């Protein structure tokens, strides 16, 4: 029995020592998107802060492909030692598993570390669209079911689901026009070929400032820092409970020691308070966020359930 207790004590000491000494070599941060994309930039900014505070290189490795699932799978299959991390985000983690088979189980194969960013969306139209405010917009579309069209960056994309939730809560029937990316979708909204879209604040804010688009409000339950003049749609359109956006975070392979996760999460939470990081995020249309690992785990469960509900409610299908 004494030997058993000694063995258990030795394991506990080794785990504590491992977390205390972590990291003692470079850490790889896999970004499952191309360089320059929002998740990539947000993750790089945090990686730089972690490198400064923890004294080891945090090296970003872009593994794009398959809607983010390729890089995510790389991390899911990596050693759970804290030396391979994932720049995780809404698409491959919360949405894709509800639409198609993925090479990982997002709630089982990853250990949440912390959120790092939230991305608000904004309802926009051509400047000549007749509704003067969000309530008038809703009334106009309700009065003519299936007359109006909305664009998205693709079937099953975050923007598509954010808009479907808005349509459902506002009791609107409009026709979906999917595009391959937000840029062509916004171009056709600006030209009046499609009536409206709900896209990221980052992608629409300059068009709103220049007068090429008109906005009726944002998808958060509060005003967004990147577009403070726009009201929350929850209030402006009289849709209590409408509060949705994209998220970006850090995750690790399942089985990563809790002490390592806690250490990383604590350092990320400190990093998110840095004024220079907040300023860079604001320029990207992002808002800083952080959570303890258990908090992020609960958040991800709710996000997957919510997106699943939207997908089922709108009967959204994607080609396999």
B/e letters for 140-165, b = 16+ CB within 10 Å, e = fewer, are bbeeeeeebbbbbbbebbbbbbbbbb
Residue 11: its pLDDT value, please? 46
| DSSP 8-class letter at 39 | H
Backbone φ and ψ of 151, nearest 5°: -100, 155
Which H helix or E strand runs over 80? none
| Residue 181, token pair as written in the block | 């990316």
Residue 320: its pLDDT value, please? 58
Note whether 307 and 95 are within 8 A (CB).
Answer: yes
Note whether 131 and 137 are within 8 A (CB).
Answer: yes
Alpha-helical (H) ranges within the chain are 2-21, 38-54, 69-76, 90, 96-99, 134-142, 158-170, 182-190, 201-210, 233-236, 258-271, 275-283, 293-314
What is the maximal distance between C-alpha atoms in the chain? 81
HSE-up of residue 218 (Cα within 13 Å, Cβ side): 28
- Provide the residue count of the chain: 320
Residue 2: its pLDDT value, please? 55
Task: Tell me the average confidence (pLDDT) per consecutive run of 10 residues in the chain, 320 residues long.
Answer: 49 54 98 95 97 98 95 98 98 96 97 98 97 98 97 95 98 97 96 97 95 98 95 98 97 98 98 96 93 98 97 88
Structural domains present in the chain? 25-117+246-314 (3.40.190.150), 121-236 (3.40.190.10)
Distances (CA, A) of 227 to 42, 120, 123, 205: 19, 9, 12, 7
Residue 20: its pLDDT value, please? 79
Residue 48: count of CB within 10 angstroms of its CB:
14
Q: Name the pTM for this structure.
A: 0.90
**Strands 214-218 and 121-125, bridge-based pairing:** antiparallel
Residue 318: its pLDDT value, please? 85
């Amino acid at each position: 029995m004494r030997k058993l207790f000694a063995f258990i004590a030795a394991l506990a000491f080794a785990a504590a020592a491992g977390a205390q000494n972590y990291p003692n070599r470079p850490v790889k941060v896999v970004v499952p998107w191309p360089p320059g994309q929002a998740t990539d930039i947000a993750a790089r900014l945090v990686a730089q802060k972690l490198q400064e505070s923890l004294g080891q290189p945090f090296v970003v490795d872009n593994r794009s492909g398959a809607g983010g699932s390729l890089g995510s799978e790389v991390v899911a299959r990596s050693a759970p030692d804290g030396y391979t991390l994932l720049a995780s985000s809404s698409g491959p983690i919360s949405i894709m598993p509800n639409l198609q088979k993925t090479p990982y189980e997002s709630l089982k194969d990853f250990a949440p570390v912390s959120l790092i960013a939230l991305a608000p969306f904004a309802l926009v139209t051509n400047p000549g669209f007749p509704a003067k405010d969000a309530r008038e917009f809703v009334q106009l579309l309700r009065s003519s079911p299936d007359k109006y069209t909305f664009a998205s960056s693709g079937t099953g994309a975050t923007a598509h689901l954010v808009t479907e939730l808005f349509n459902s809560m506002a009791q609107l029937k409009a026709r979906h026009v999917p595009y391959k990316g937000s840029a062509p979708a916004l171009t056709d909204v600006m030209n009046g070929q499609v009536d409206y879209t709900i896209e990221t604040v980052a992608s629409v804010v300059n068009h709103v400032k220049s007068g090429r688009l008109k906005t009726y409000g944002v998808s958060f339950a509060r005003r967004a820092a990147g577009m403070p003049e726009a009201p929350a749609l929850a209030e402006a359109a009289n849709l209590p409970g409408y509060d949705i956006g994209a998220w970006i975070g850090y995750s690790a392979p399942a089985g990563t020691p809790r002490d390592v996760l806690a250490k990383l999460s604590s350092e990320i939470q400190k990093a998110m308070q840095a004024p220079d990081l907040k300023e860079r995020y604001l320029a990207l249309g992002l808002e800083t966020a952080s959570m303890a690992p258990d908090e992020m785990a609960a958040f991800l469960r709710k996000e997957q359930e919510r997106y699943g509900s939207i997908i089922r409610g709108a009967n959204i299908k994607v080609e396999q």
